[in-house]
Structure formats: structure tokens, C-alpha cells
Structure 1
Amino acid sequence: MKKSIARTLAIGAALAALAAPLTAQAHRAWLAPTATVLSGSDAWVGFDAGMSNGVFIPDHAAMNLAGLVITAPDGSTAAPENMMRARYRSSFDLHLTQAGTWRVANVMSGVVVSYKENGEQKRWRGTEAEMAAAIPAGATDVSATRSDSRIETFVTLGAPSTTALAPTGKGIELVPVTHPNDLVAGEAATFKLVRDGQPAADLDVTIARGGTRYRDNPEEMTVKTGADGSFTVTWPEAGMYWMNASVRTPAEGTQMAASAQYNGVVEVLP
């Protein structure tokens, strides 16, 4: 009993001591549709997903789509078709059988723990519920971070709708003020970011337009969220755009460090 209590206190103390910042993500994660606005009674859309230096350029690694969640306009969950993972990109098709807006997201969460056992550096990844049982009793230099990641895009068949856009309350999420499938070059659009359902204030949002392979200027811009999590961007040109925001919370008391990241893709029409 005393050993069990001592182990719990040791792990708790180690988690509380976490304060080192996370290493910045070296490559950009994106989930890009072949089209975002479609008409008719039904339609098909293809999707590519990868990690790369330049957005929408599959030149580094295919994305693991184990966390893929597709929300139909009525709020139900839909299944992808023709899934494939190649060397540099993953791909799948989606049959749009309902009118309205679909939310297509790859959502990942978990805990990463590094520790030493008998002087050997080890690493464990899993859920927070599994963590206590997974760390050996003799572990030292325990370091853990809870992470949430959302990579998503939106497509609309017919008239836009909002049911599928409701936040889940976990991680960083985009809450549209302007509908994400109603974006036009030269016009301002406003969105809100929330983290675990609460306004994500004072976050830097990086916005990049695709097509960097064919121009010298990367055409990136950064805006900051306000106290209510909102930000506004005026689209300089038509095209596919990537948006990114991330935040890290250091360990405090018995709470472990936490990180959250959002990557969204929207299409701006002429």
C-alpha cells in the first residue's frame, strides 16, 4: 500500500513539474477536398490528406486517417469509400447523399509519456485512463502531455446548413460566424475558435493559400483571436486556404501539460 501511494505521488509530482514547451510541428497537416460547393440531388467528392512543407503538396508523408469522422447534414455519421494510403498521401471518396453541409474531420487525442526505467529512456502513448497502469512502478523522470488535434474541411451539397458544424466541446474547434462554404475573394469572413467549448482568446491563426509551388511569395498572413475567440480575414484571392492555430497549457498543480492544434481547409470562390 505504501509503495503504491509513493508511486502515485511521484508520478503526480513529475507531471506537475512539466513546463518545457512542445517542439513546433515541422510539417503542415491538411485534408483537402476536390470541391466544396456542389449541386444536384447527390454528388461525389474526393479527399487527399497529408503532411508537407507546403500546404496541399504531397511530398512528405501520408496522413493516418484512423480518427476520421464524417458528419452528415442531419448530424449522423457517414462512412468514407475507396480509402487508400499511398507513400505521400491518403485519399478517400465521400458520397453526398443529403443536401446541406458535411463536416469531414480527422480527430486525434491522447497522452504521450516519456520516462526512464533502469536508466533506459522509454516512451508510451495511449489514453489518459490507461496512463497510471501503463507507467512502471520504478519509472523516473516521468513527463506527460495530453494532446488534442483536429484536421478538417467542409463540403456543401445544395443550400448550406449548420447542424454538422456544432462543436463537440473537445480540443480547438472552428465555430463559423460566416459559413465556411460561403467564402468569396475580396470579402471578409468571421469565425470563432473555441477550446474545450470555451472561447480560445489571443491565439495566432496562420492562413496560407495553396499553389506555392507556382509562385515565389508564400502569401501567408497571421491574425489573432479576440477575447471571444473570434477573428476576421479578408481573402485576397480565390483558392484553397489552410488555417492553423495551436495552444499549449503548462502543467499546473496536479494537472499535466496539455496541447491542442487545429488545421482547417476552406475554399474561397471568385
Structure 2
Amino acid sequence: MKKSIALVAALLALGAPLSAQAHRAWLAPTSTVLSGNDAWVGFDAGMSNGVFIPDHAAMRLDGLTITAPDGTTVQAENQHRARYRSSFDLHLTQSGTYRIANVMGGMMASYTLNGEQKRWRGAPAEFATAIPAGATDVQATRTSSRIETFVTLNDTSATALAAPAEGLALVPVTHPNDLVKGEAATFKLVKDGQPAAGLEVTVARGATRYRDNPEEQTVTTGADGGFSVTWPEAGMYWLNASVRTPAQGAEPATNASYVAVVEVLP
């Protein structure tokens, strides 16, 4: 149970839409397209008012998962958590595209027992036995958060880009490491494997410290979960969407968020 509570606490620290906080979570690589027999990439992860500016809090990396081009899971190296950012390195030894994601999830519930209001947090698998017999006014919410980026060594590949079965996730139509200034890119959002229609996606370019205009745009997903972005400038971009669904019968409410960081080349 302690581990489950820690996971949900980490989800709260990520800046998922479990509160009204405005801080934005991000996971940014030093490079996204590399060549050679092998290469190293560094990553910073944090939460801040302006994306990619480590000035608020470091991100916990409890849910860090790195998928290699062949679909296997590889480990980060040299992990470190400072005051305002976490960091790690990734050794690229396979040609193709890597998916680097910090994925968290859990459940929260409130209920009344013997006239007292109670709260519970933990893993979804524990929920069925966690609420005591006799509890009333049970309200539960399943939470999920995915914060990710993509890196390619030599030629792009698609194996690591397969959509996960749970949570809010990106399905690339345009490869996320093949983005160019002035050209349109197309993506889809899915929730639990199904098209996520009608979601607003915020697109923000980094380096806001050096300009007055935040240069943000908002696009809305279509019936198939698809949306397109035309990149006005080269640089690192932050994409964010979230969705809440109410409880339906025995199914709890859900609260899911998604963040991707991509690089647009000149």
C-alpha cells in the first residue's frame, strides 16, 4: 500500500490535471535526431510556468519507461534529481526511434463511514478491497498521466510508437522526429485505445524567456482523434491535452493527461 500511495503522490507532483495548478510538466531531450553507430542523449524533466525553464520543481521519475526501436525496454543512466529539475542520460545502441515516457497512474476515492468522511489513494487493483463494507457515498477517480518525448538514431522506425492500451496517448501519423518548420504534421490522440475526439491540444514553443509573445496555439481533435499542427518556427515544442470523464455505473470517473515534447528542425 505504501508504494501505491507513493505512486499517486508522484502523479500529483507531475502536474497532472488533479488540481488547478498552472505549472507545466515537461521531459526535454538535448537532441532528437542523431547518427552513428551509437550516441548519447541527455534529458531534463521538470515543472515550470514557462516550458523548458527549470524554475519551479523537479519531476519525479518513478514511472520512467524507455522503449527501444526493437520494442524492448532499456534503462536510463546517471539519474539525478536536483531542486528544479531531474536529469538522466540514454545510451542509444540501436538504429531507429526510442520512446521515452514518464507514466503514472492510480486511483483516488472518498466515502462516508459511520458518519465520517474518509479518503483513500492507491493502485486500481487495490480499490475493490480497499473500501470498507458499509461505506456510502463512494466517489472514485482513476488517474493517468503520460509525459514523453522521442529520439531517433539514424533512420526513423515505428515499433516504439505503438499506442499503449491505457490512458491518453499520441498516435503519430507524421513521425515525431520528422518535423520541419513551415510544414504541417498530423497526429491522433487515443484514450484507452479509442479515438479521443473533441479535445483541445495546447501547442507551445520553448524559449519564451527571449521573446514577449508566448506563441501558443490551440487545436481541437476531430472525430478520429486527429489534429494537425503547422510549425511557425524551429525549436522545441510542448503539446498538452487532458480529459475528464464522469463515473458511469460501476465505472469510476477518469482523469487523464498527456504531454509530448518534440523538436522542429529548420
TM-score (normalizing by structure 2): 0.89
- State the alpha-carbon separation in 1 of the partners of residues 115 and 58 from structure 2: 35
Distance change (3 Å), C-alpha of 1:89 and 1:121: farther
Alignment partner, residue 234 of structure 1: 230
Alignment partner, residue 26 of structure 1: 22
Give, in angstroms, the shift of residue 148 of structure 1: 1.3
1:59 matched to 2:39: no
- State the alpha-carbon separation in 1 of the partners of residues 110 and 57 from structure 2: 24
Give, in angstroms, the shift of residue 214 of structure 1: 1.5
1:269 matched to 2:237: no
Q: Unaligned 5+ residue runs, structure 1?
A: 1-20
Per-residue deviation, residues 66-109 of structure 1 (Å, max 9, x unmatched)? 11110000000000000011111111000000011000001111
Per-residue deviation, residues 100-149 of structure 1 (Å, max 9, x unmatched)? 10000011111012345566654322112211322334545432200111
Distance change (3 Å), C-alpha of 1:84 and 1:117: farther
- State the alpha-carbon separation in 2 of the partners of residues 144 and 253 from structure 1: 11
Give aligned-pair identity as a percent. Answer: 77
Per-residue deviation, residues 10-51 of structure 1 (Å, max 9, x unmatched)? xxxxxxxxxxx9644421111000000001110000001111
The alignment of Structure 1 onto Structure 2 pairs a total of residues equal to 250
Alignment partner, residue 16 of structure 1: none
Q: What RMSD, in angstroms, separates the aligned Cα atoms of the two structures?
A: 1.6
1:202 matched to 2:198: yes
1:164 matched to 2:145: no
What is the identity, as a one-letter code, of the residue corresponding to 1:170?
Answer: E
Q: Which of 1 and 2 has greater Rg?
A: 1
Alignment partner, residue 207 of structure 2: 211
- State the alpha-carbon separation in 2 of the partners of residues 222 and 211 from structure 1: 18
Alignment partner, residue 9 of structure 1: none
- State the alpha-carbon separation in 1 of the partners of residues 108 and 179 from structure 2: 37
3-state SS of the aligned residue for 1:50? strand
What is the identity, as a one-letter code, of the residue corresponding to 1:236?
Answer: P
3-state SS of the aligned residue for 1:153? strand
> Which residues of 2 match residues 127-166 of structure 1 at below 5 A?
127-137=123-133, 139-166=135-162
- State the alpha-carbon separation in 2 of the partners of residues 197 and 264 from structure 1: 17
What is the identity, as a one-letter code, of the residue corresponding to 1:206?
Answer: T
- State the alpha-carbon separation in 1 of the partners of residues 78 and 117 from structure 2: 40
Distance change (3 Å), C-alpha of 1:110 and 1:124: same
Alignment partner, residue 105 of structure 1: 101
TM-score (normalizing by structure 1): 0.88
Give, in angstroms, the shift of residue 168 of structure 1: 1.6
